Amino acid sequence: MSVSLSSPPQLKSQRRSSLWFWTAFSVCALAAITLFFVPAFIIRPFRHQSTRALFLAVALRQRAPLDSLLAAIAAFLLAFALWRTTTRWRKALLALTLLLVTISAVMARMNYFEWMFHPIAAPGFETEAQSKLDAGEMIMA
């Protein structure tokens, strides 16, 4: 009588399915997080940005609101599927990753560059005499 050391086919199928879910979850989460963080790190006022990097950042920033939402929804669905079959530590990892995905999806919709500068409370016009510019500076009249 020989004993087979290989796993039953059903167990192999479950492992393969679980691996697929974890891989898909990781890809969706990474996509959602990247869509926010890449433009945020590339576009920095008062610093030099290369043309290619700025082009990439602006292209990602334009697509980020919809794409990060789709990636976040997919990540949540995959996390829900993984939640029932995973250990406590992996659940903590799922929860932390979903928190980052949620923050990224929300931040992709906001213009966080406005927060870097103080907004003008009431923009308006002034006469040349009232302005606080040097006499040599040019103004539009």
Distance (Å, rounded) from C-alpha 74 to C-alpha 28?
Answer: 7
Residues 7-29 pLDDT 10s: 566 555 666 678 899 999 999 99
Question: Taking Cα atoms as reference points, which of 76, 65, 64 lies closest to residue 101?
Answer: 76
Handedness of CA 86, 89, 69, 34 (dihedral sign): negative
Residue 116 has pLDDT above 90, yes or no: no
pLDDT in tens, 29-79: 999 999 999 999 998 888 888 999 999 999 999 999 999 999 999 999 999
- Would you state the pLDDT for residue 88? 94
Q: What is the pLDDT of residue 15?
A: 66
- CA 103 to chain CA centroid, Å, is 7
Task: Provide the pLDDT confidence category of residue 125 given band limits of 50, 70 and 90.
Answer: confident
- Cut 0.95: pTM above it: no
User: What is the distance between the alpha carbons of residues 63 and 129, in angstroms, rounded to a whole number?
Assistant: 46
How far is C-alpha 84 from the chain's CA centre? 26
Longest CA span, the chain: 104
